[in-house]
Amino acid sequence: GAVVSQHPSWVICKSGTSVKIECRSLDFQATTMFWYRQFPKQSLMLMATSNEGSKATYEQGVEKDKFLINHASLTLSTLTVTSAHPEDSSFYICSAPTLSGNTIYFGEGSWLTVV
């Protein structure tokens, strides 16, 4: 079964609205979670590192105010795409390493379509 769960799996939203994607670690705690974006036929692109209890660390070129990340608990991180535009349409994936750091588990991914 999945050890990292994402919700929603698929979301369609109107331009200008905000969408929240949740990433939950099941049966283990994650002080760190990673958020990725993936375009068709391309590799994962790390967007940001979510840190429980502190601010997220964003990769160069990723707008902090557009992609709001909150890591409120040891099992939940959220990514909010604010004022979404069609170019934000993509596949968003989160991952979480175990506390031992030995293994990283991925969520099932969330498809975002902005119309």
Q: Which is nearer to other proteins, 19 or 93 (CB)?
A: 93
Decide: 109 and 36 in contact? Cβ < 8 Å. Answer: no
Decide: 35 and 41 in contact? Cβ < 8 Å. Answer: no
CB of 55 to other proteins, least distance (A): 19
**Where do contacts with other proteins occur on this chain (CB under 8 A)?**
4, 6, 37-39, 41-45, 87, 91, 93, 95, 97, 101-109, 111
Residue bearing tokens 């929603």 = 8
Q: Which is nearer to other proteins, 16 or 111 (CB)?
A: 111
Classified as helix, coil or strand, 115 is: coil
Q: Which is nearer to other proteins, 4 or 81 (CB)?
A: 4
Q: Which is nearer to other proteins, 13 or 45 (CB)?
A: 45
- Cα torsion angle, 78, 43, 30, 4, sign: positive
- Cα torsion angle, 45, 38, 47, 59, sign: positive
CB of 99 to other proteins, least distance (A): 14
CB of 68 to other proteins, least distance (A): 19
Rounded CA gap, 73 and 112, in Å?
24
CB of 45 to other proteins, least distance (A): 6
